């Protein structure tokens, strides 16, 4: 069962984040929307500098929806204090009540008509966060998860996906599912657990380009922490549009450079983010 949640917006008149109890669909919406997903890495390594650099990259893109994984109390506080987020975004959690030590968060510039969090089979307190947003008269489901970590978690990831996809299908015909899946796109066995009705936007738009979201050949911070070579595409943006109401337009990596020339071994995260644009037909 899903636990229903209220989304929060910032009330400047009160100087506080309050529950948005009156969300409604606008008569018209944009012809295309931008979605970002990013595992922000909760490690203390240069934490404030990394997260502020990540926020700057998000601000430069001004996406319609942001899905973040590995959010901790400290990074949630930075999100809630950011002026441009306060001005334009709703957030799924302004109290830190949807996760234990870390979790997932959604930010949206679009009205959020419904919000819920689903428990998943997990020994790591992993959950599925689902927002139903209004894009003009259209209703679009945006979901994010951080699937079970590490190689021994393969069976649990399979169980998680077996619960996630039917839940998302039940919510409507149009869905964007994002997050850190914790298995590489090269894993034939684990990729067989994906619902074929959901299109993986990276290969759909970029063909055979590797699209590694963890890459020690580029991310020297990851190389230093990991200690060996790692080139995997764990992070995904999937699109399901049953009647073809939405189609993918573009996708690219974010955070592939150090945060500053003076910090060549500090990147925004150990993962690269993904930014995708989808358009209404």
Q: How far apart are CA 274 and CA 220, in angstroms?
A: 19
Pairing of strands 112-119, 2-4: antiparallel
- Confirm whether 14 is domain-assigned: no
Decide: 141 and 174 in contact? Cβ < 8 Å.
Answer: yes
Q: Is residue 70 part of a domain?
A: yes
Is 252 inside a domain boundary? yes
pLDDT digits (tens, 9 = 90+) for 24-48: 888 788 999 999 999 999 999 999 9
Q: Residue 167, by phi and psi: left (phi above 0), alpha (psi -120 to 50) or beta?
A: alpha
- CATH number, residue 64: 3.60.10.10
In a domain, 11, yes or no: no
User: Per the structure, how many domains does the chain have?
Assistant: 1
Q: Is residue 15 part of a domain?
A: no
Does any domain span residue 18? no
pLDDT of residue 27: 77
**What pTM was computed for the model?**
0.97
Tokens representing 31 are 């012809």
Judge whether 166 and 193 are in contact, CB under 8 Å: no
How much is the pLDDT for 256? 98
In the prediction, which pLDDT does 226 show?
A: 86
Q: Which domain holds residue 115?
A: 31-280
Please give the Cα distance from 265 to 251 (Å, whole number).
25
Is position 264 within any domain?
A: yes
Report residues of the chain scoring pLDDT below 70.
1
Give the residue from 212, 207, 210 showing the smallest Cα distance to 223: 212
- Using CA atoms, how far apart are residues 174 and 181, in angstroms rounded to an integer? 20
CB 138 within 8 A of CB 280: yes
Report if residue 3 sits inside a domain.
Answer: no
| Of 75, 74, 38, 73, residue with least CA distance to 58 | 38
Report the pLDDT value the prediction gives residue 192, as an integer from 0 to 100: 98
- What is the model's pLDDT at position 2? 80
């Amino acid at each position: 069962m899903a636990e229903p949640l209220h989304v929060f917006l910032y009330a400047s008149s009160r100087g506080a984040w309050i529950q948005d109890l009156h969300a409604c669909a606008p008569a018209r919406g944009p012809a295309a929307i931008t979605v970002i997903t990013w595992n922000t890495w909760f490690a203390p390594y240069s934490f404030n500098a990394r997260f502020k650099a990540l926020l700057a990259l998000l601000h430069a893109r001004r996406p319609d929806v942001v899905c973040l994984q590995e959010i901790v109390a400290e990074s949630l506080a930075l999100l809630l204090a950011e002026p441009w987020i306060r001005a334009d975004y709703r957030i799924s959690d302004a109290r830190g009540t949807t996760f234990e030590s870390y979790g997932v968060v959604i930010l949206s510039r679009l009205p959020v008509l419904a919000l819920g969090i689903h428990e998943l089979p997990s020994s790591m307190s992993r959950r599925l966060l689902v927002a139903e947003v209004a894009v003009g008269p259209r209703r679009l489901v945006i979901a994010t998860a951080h699937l079970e970590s590490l190689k021994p978690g393969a069976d649990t990831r399979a169980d998680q996906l077996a619960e996630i996809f039917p839940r998302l299908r039940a919510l409507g015909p149009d869905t964007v599912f994002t997050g850190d899946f914790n298995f590489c796109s090269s894993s034939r066995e684990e990729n067989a657990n994906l619902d074929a009705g959901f299109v993986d936007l990276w290969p759909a738009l970029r063909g055979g380009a590797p699209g590694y979201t963890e890459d020690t050949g580029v991310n020297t911070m990851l190389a230093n922490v990991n200690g060996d070579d790692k080139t995997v595409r764990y992070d995904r943006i999937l699109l399901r549009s049953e009647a073809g109401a939405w189609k993918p337009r573009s996708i690219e990596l974010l955070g592939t450079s150090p945060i500053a020339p003076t910090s060549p071994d500090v990147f925004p995260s150990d993962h690269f983010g993904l930014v995708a644009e989808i358009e209404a037909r």
